Chain A
């Protein structure tokens, strides 16, 4: 394996870890955000 290929494969590994890591956090925390969004919208519609 050439040093150029090794460099890019290492970067690929880091980029993939960051991508899937953020995906896991966003999936967990996003549920709460989604609930808040829908709750606040229902409240506004009822208040009208």
Chain B
């Protein structure tokens, strides 16, 4: 076991502080807007802290670390693409500015304003399914990371997962977005410090020349050139760029940071500055993964190599800080995702199945119950599901299930006057087909007829989802302008 007494003290103290702070924040929840978007009072620095903390979970470290171990430096391109996408969204205000101006709390609310209540219901269902499936593997990866770093081995996975989910569910259910913003800030500080500790420890024990040599010797040109690496290539780069723009503007846990901002201008600044951190967010854990390749050589389980390195090179005492940082990263991500998906199910699915919305207090109660149910589901799903390809591609393809259709609906809704209900339905359904097809078909890859094997390629399925969603919107809208005239709607 790598963990010493001082590490335990630091970790337990951090966990207790998080729970206490999260529950204490409940006193600030005065109504539905307080629960879901922190009363729309979040300023720039706090917005950046909560956004970075949400988008940096332990799962992020594990999948990027895994990519660094198996693909060397060529995976760094992902960080550059994400940075470009979020900076562009922040600079232009693409979608987020209008959503904030409309004072919506969830993205599917926009569907009802621009299209119809039924489009909102369908969009809510797809967003919820894509989001929960996407989140399904978080716990498993967190468990792998923590058990490797702490030195318990895989046997402790279930216990670690259960403890983590119980803590997060408890304060998210009680305090909603207020708890999330307050705990996220503390978690941001702890996780940034933990990342700094880990980076210094890795550089202390593994020099840059060894890392470079290991990448060149093991991976050759594919370790430095993403267009040569068979895992990536042009299709991948194009897909990730489009997906990052779509996710930047329309991924509910991230977009909720814009919706909770003090004003549309603050929302843009939050996205711009957070975007600048996204290159480091990807490259730092990938660098640890490449260092693991130099330290251990190839042949380890790819997801476990980087955590094993950190467990080895980070000295006792600092290991407690690192684990607290990673727990901070996980908890901030879970809480934001739990609130996002439970809000969508409560407001955009359950309420939309009725003619009128529930009263605010009922909506908050339903959201709390749903958050608890999602927590239980994550525990079960995370334990048995076998993840296809690398975790990174799984996360992006489940994300594409929703973001491709949403990009078609929201972008066309805001910037194309001919967008109508039929186009919105077609975009949502066709955008979900390719990723859902991939998740089903890749399980029986060998039994597929030759003409269908392309659907088991994660990069093709991902890019196809955006193409189909755009086609659905354009063809669907143009073909039905008379039978379903577009709603005249302005965001001003």
A interface residue numbers (CB < 8 A to B): 1-2, 4-9, 11-12, 14-16, 18-20, 22-23, 25-27, 29-30, 32-34, 36-38, 40-42, 44-45, 48
Contacts and interface: CB of A to CB of B under 8 A. Distances in A.
Interface in B178-196: 178, 181-182, 185, 188-189, 192, 195-196
Contact of B73 (A8, A25, A30, A41): A8
Contacts, number: 125
B281 A8 contact: no
A29 B223 CA distance: 39
Contacts of A33: 42-47
Contacts of A44: 30, 39
B338 to A, nearest CB: 21
A9 B208 contact: yes
B46 to A, nearest CB: 4
A18 B280 CA distance: 7
B472 interface: no
A40 B43 CA distance: 12
Contact of B188 (A15, A27, A36, A38): A27
B196 A20 contact: yes
B199 A30 contact: no
A15 B232 CA distance: 21
28 contacts: A1-B213, A4-B221, A5-B73, A5-B215, A5-B224, A11-B283, A15-B79, A15-B279, A16-B284, A16-B287, A18-B277, A18-B280, A19-B192, A22-B273, A26-B48, A26-B49, A26-B52, A26-B188, A27-B192, A30-B49, A34-B181, A34-B185, A36-B41, A37-B42, A37-B43, A41-B39, A44-B39, A48-B30
Contacts of A23: 52, 188-189, 192, 277
B5 interface: no
B50 to A, nearest CB: 9
A21 to B, nearest CB: 9
A8 B212 CA distance: 10
Nearest to A8: B73
Interface string B142-174: 000000000000000000000000000000000
